[in-house]
Chains A and B, each alone.
Chain A
Amino acid sequence: MATATEQWVLVEMVQALYEAPTYHLILEGILILWIIRLLFSKTYKLQERSDLTVKEKEELIEEWQPEPLVPPVPKDHPALNYNIVSGPPSHKIVVNGKECINFASFNFLGLLDNPRVKAAALASLKKYGVGTCGPRGFYGTFDVHLDLEDRLAKFMKTEEAIIYSYGFATIASAIPAYSKRGDIVFVDRAACFAIQKGLQASRSDIKLFKHNDMADLERLLKEQEIEDQKNPRKARVTRRFIVVEGLYMNTGTICPLPELVKLKYKYKARIFLEESLSFGVLGEHGRGVTEHYGIKIDDIDLISANMENALASIGGFCCGRSFVIDHQRLSGQGYCFSASLPPLLAAAAIEALNIMEENPGIFAVLKEKCRQIHKALQGISGLKVVGESLSPAFHLQLEESTGSREQDVRLLQEIVDQHSGCGHGGTNRGRTGESCVHHQGGSPGRPALGRVPGPWLPATQHAERTQDSRWPWRGLKESKNMCIFDRIVTKWCQYGPIV
């Protein structure tokens, strides 16, 4: 039955074809041909793209002029000519031919010219030579490195420590190892440059909070919590970190660690503590700001410090729990892709640690001297001391600014030069044009967010100052240079806060 129906339909169609009027057939034929043409023709472009011809390209290449690789530097740029130090940079230092008392290096415990440290380094030099000729992964690990890591871990009472061959690279490699794109980092505004570079390399979201202002930090954390509730799935994979320094390089103040630990547990953020200045300075035994406040070391996820300050060596280390530190052995860029620390510097650091452990009284002496100097500097008109009284590194800031940063810098440079004339070495941190606060995207020379912190003079204290150098500033007060300040004070306008 079906085939018969089909056949019948076919017959009907053929009949219809014969009976149709001619124009109808022609029209249908044309339509079919049109459809076939449309199907096979290329798509129609509205605008013709004109590619450049080879000749035009060559012209463009000829015409293009790049900027010079580096812009010219004026001959009188203050940072161009470094001060040349002849001889060891110890307590008495010869700068540009003049002998000065050293107030500018970070040799807090005076271990730079300690004979025991030198002897240990010499012994290591005689055994291993100078360089290690390899990264840690490929026969660049010496027993000295393992020893130093062990000692540092024991000293700081943590499970494990890892050493880097350069202090700057320590925190700059540690942060990107944990914090990746999409993670959130809460950083203090006065964080040092190495931390800023680490944050930039990590590509995480950076949230700055006001310097040492826990209320501001809590506000940011609360805002983040609200955000998290909107998107819980994302929140479950976004890590949170708080990065602070024990003793801030840029302001000489100590971070309020107990409050930070409270905030950590409340808002579930991990703390990375940078202790470059406070290691070997704060705390009864020199263990840093955790000992200073009496906080359990396990509450801090990562402690990073460099050995270039109190330990008078080169390099840096991170310490913490094995769970945290071991990760850096594969993902710390400065660890995996760089040669290891020369053994003689590691041996010097071990000996310095020995000395620190044997004489815990040295830290009390340092604190006392810091307090003395701090008090002695309070009276100078025109300059104010920025920093805690027990911080060995603090800043002298101009109380009132001339209004222009360049002029401030020049004035400070004059003060520094007068100092060295009187025999006291200091340095002018402002002369390089660096600003202490760069949020992501800032760089030295360009202030961030329109806030220009004042240029200042950092001065550092050494534990081994002799008694007679206790009053170096007296010379300055009594000299006729004081009249510079008196004249300028009247002209200065009120200077804003530092951060």
Chain B
Amino acid sequence: MRPEPGGCCCRRTVRANGCVANGEVRNGYVRSSAAAAAAAAAAAGQIHHVTQNGGLYKRPFNEAFEETPMLVAVLTYVGYGVLTLFGYLRDFLRYWRIEKCHHATEREEQKDFVSLYQDFENFYTRNLYMRIRDNWNRPICSVPGARVDIMERQSHDYNWSFKYTGNIIKGVINMGSYNYLGFARNTGSCQEAAAKVLEEYGAGVCSTRQEIGNLDKHEELEELVARFLGVEAAMAYGMGFATNSMNIPALVGKGCLILSDELNHASLVLGARLSGATIRIFKHNNMQSLEKLLKDAIVYGQPRTRRPWKKILILVEGIYSMEGSIVRLPEVIALKKKYKAYLYLDEAHSIGALGPTGRGVVEYFGLDPEDVDVMMGTFTKSFGASGGYIGGKKELIDYLRTHSHSAVYATSLSPPVVEQIITSMKCIMGQDGTSLDATGQEFGQGTVGMTCLCSVVWDWPGRLKYLERLRWLVVGIVWRLLHSHVTWAGVTWSQAQLRLLTRAPSCMYLFRVA
């Protein structure tokens, strides 16, 4: 399944490759990194995709996702139907006290209040989710490294309640954490630096950035992040989710248009909704859909009033956690330049994981970071800490310093966490004195998150065979099956539930394999 250069990678149906035949791109060829140039030179003679991808990226870019077979889809629906029937039966039995009622109920004094949950919402939790609840929320009690210790738990009443036996299952292969580069560890330079800072500064901050929560450590971190990304300035926040949900409203408001990918993360969706701007969704990674929306937006303006839009913001992610697909960044940038829109790139998963030196999806494609207006990312995944950042031009960061809700109302990052980020970032940049080999070693010890299999596979040939097999088995069947075709009784699953559903069986499978 490895993509042969210049050819289609597999015989299965390929999703619509929304390549933009963009003859009038003005920016021409942007500088590509040495690695990409070398790879291009090596594959010379087999490149067929020069004019596609907006002329910005010369290597073939093929992503294929297996379509769900019809039989499997039908059987899924049948399965859900059967489960619903049983659910109704069990509810009936519980109502007539034939079966014991395990779930928590409303207080006696408040029985005449309007019920807190909708009937249907609770139905799903009671009758379907409960059956397979032990796949999720499994507690661990060690570093989330390559191997992890899981606390054993048992349920004697069909997952209604769990008891911890006290046993710890040691040395389980961890394929479920986002510890891509292996920086989440309890030994080593990162941990020692964090310990020192903890001794000196304490664990908390107890203030917001604009008051007196702005420690010198934060300034150091922001300067380092800006250098790491190759942008003018950067700003760090305490939570990745909050970064999106509180900064998008600061950038766009009423009268602006947001073009958001179909499979964007909940934080981006929430931020877009809170901003008050109009939201339009384009099909996942489909550039034709995006271009059509852009054209229509500019030509026809705002709905009903026909006034021109104030701003258009495109929200995309570097690697989509739901699909594991990489955004078609060269084409998005070409479109953005043609139609004068702004680009907000959420690199939660791709920062540190993609690109020859871990600078993210921009470096992976060999593009200029200045082309992306807002580069957002999180420190949770590759850096083994917590928090988020936004990088971009100095005017943007100055504006966010004064107007971001997070800077005004929310606490700043905790000092040991900041130190962990600084140390790990310096390690990736090679500034801590270790050689590239050492960082390579460090990379090798990390776990590979399920979501990144598709993309990381291309970069790490050594892991290909095993991971490919897994991907086909787990991601292809379970993921696509449940994600794209499940609408049940006219109700589409909420993204949260789908994601949980799709992730869990794969993790269980791997856990049992391990």
Contact = CB atoms under 8 A, between A and B. Distances in A.
Interface string B364-403: 0000000001100011110111100000000110111111
B114 A129 contact: no
B177 A60 contact: no
B138 A89 contact: no
A125 B198 contact: yes
A139 B177 contact: yes
Interface string A5-26: 0000000000000000000000
Contact of A89 (B212, B309, B378, B496): B212
A489 to B, nearest CB: 28
B310 A67 contact: yes
A377 to B, nearest CB: 19
A69 B340 contact: no
A427 interface: yes
Interface stretch (A27-35, A101-109, A381-389, A394-402): A101-109
Contacts of B212: 83, 85, 89, 93, 95, 102, 104-105, 425, 427
Give the dominant DSSP class at A's interface. loop
Contacts of A443: 249
Contacts of A348: 203-204
Contacts of B380: 131-133, 339
Given A169-B242, A330-B129, A125 B398 contact: no
Interface stretch (A233-241, A281-289, A353-361, A464-472): A233-241
B178 interface: yes
A497 interface: no
B215 A444 contact: no
A194 interface: yes
B215 to A, nearest CB: 5
Interface in B81-133: 104-107, 109-110, 112-117, 125, 129
Contacts of B358: none
Interface residues of B, number: 120
B483 interface: no
Contact of A143 (B141, B194, B308): B141
Given A82-B214, A333-B270, A130 B206 contact: no
B416 A137 contact: no
A104 B200 CA distance: 20
Nearest to A322: B104
A52 interface: yes
A69 B113 CA distance: 47
Contact of B203 (A121, A139, A235, A306): A121
A240 B384 contact: no
A125 B240 contact: no
Contacts of B199: 118, 122
Interface in B251-287: 251, 265-267, 270, 273-274, 276
Interface in B200-238: 200-207, 209-216, 219, 238
Nearest to B237: A166
Contacts of A106: 206-207
Q: Of residues B136, B143, B207, B341, which shows the largest number of chain A Cβ atoms within 10 Å of its Cβ?
A: B207
A133 B214 contact: no
A313 B416 CA distance: 12
Interface string A199-242: 01100000000000000000000000000000000011111100
Interface stretch (A73-81, A405-413, A477-485): A73-81
A307 B414 CA distance: 12
Given A133-B384, A201-B273, A90 B202 contact: yes
A6 B416 CA distance: 103
B266 A270 contact: no
A480 B185 CA distance: 56
B254 to A, nearest CB: 9
B205 A314 contact: yes
A178 interface: yes
B205 A89 contact: yes
B500 A142 contact: no
A337 B129 contact: no
A107 B212 CA distance: 12
B414 A314 contact: yes
A344 B198 contact: yes
B138 A105 contact: no
B509 interface: no
A321 interface: yes
A61 B299 contact: yes
Contacts of A72: 395
A166 B242 contact: yes
Nearest to A203: B273
Given A72-B395, A105-B213, A167 B411 contact: yes
A82 B384 contact: no
B137 A329 contact: yes
Given A85-B214, A140-B177, A330-B125, A445 B144 contact: no
B148 interface: yes
Contacts of B52: none
Interface residues of A, number: 121
Interface string A47-78: 00000100001001100111111111100010
B453 interface: no
Given A66-B310, A70-B251, A337-B496, A128 B239 contact: no
B106 A130 contact: no
B274 A73 contact: no
A128 B142 contact: yes
Contact of A333 (B109, B241, B403): B241
Contacts of B309: 66
Given A146-B139, A169-B239, A197-B274, A112 B206 contact: yes
A337 B395 contact: no
Given A121-B203, A333-B266, A84 B219 contact: yes
Nearest to B175: A139
A339 B114 contact: no
Contacts of A67: 310-311
Contact of A165 (B207, B386, B507): B386
Given A131-B386, A337-B265, A237 B203 contact: no
B204 A345 contact: yes
A309 B213 CA distance: 12
A378 interface: no
Interface string A252-293: 000000000000010011100000000000000000000000
Contact of B239 (A165, A178, A240): A165
B267 A117 contact: no
A186 interface: no
A166 B384 contact: no
A143 B238 CA distance: 23
Contacts of B266: 333, 336-337
A265 B109 contact: yes
B417 interface: yes
B105 A82 contact: no
B295 interface: yes
Interface of B: 104-107, 109-110, 112-117, 125, 129, 136-144, 148, 150-151, 174, 176-179, 183-186, 190-191, 194-195, 198-207, 209-216, 219, 238-242, 245-246, 249, 251, 265-267, 270, 273-274, 276, 295, 298-299, 308-312, 339-342, 373-374, 378-381, 383-386, 395-396, 398-403, 405-406, 408-411, 414-417, 420, 496-497, 500, 503, 507
Given A61-B299, A61-B339, A133-B184, 4 more contacts: A127-B143, A133-B381, A139-B150, A168-B410
17 contacts: A52-B299, A79-B408, A88-B201, A89-B201, A89-B212, A89-B213, A121-B416, A128-B143, A168-B410, A194-B409, A308-B206, A314-B203, A333-B241, A337-B241, A344-B203, A427-B210, A432-B408
Interface of A: 52, 57, 60-61, 64-73, 77, 79-80, 82-90, 93, 95, 102, 104-107, 112-113, 117-118, 121-122, 125-134, 136-143, 145-146, 159, 165-169, 172, 178, 192-194, 197, 200-201, 235-240, 265, 268-270, 298, 306-309, 311-314, 321-324, 326-327, 329-331, 333-334, 336-339, 341-342, 344-345, 348, 425, 427, 429, 432, 434, 441, 443-445
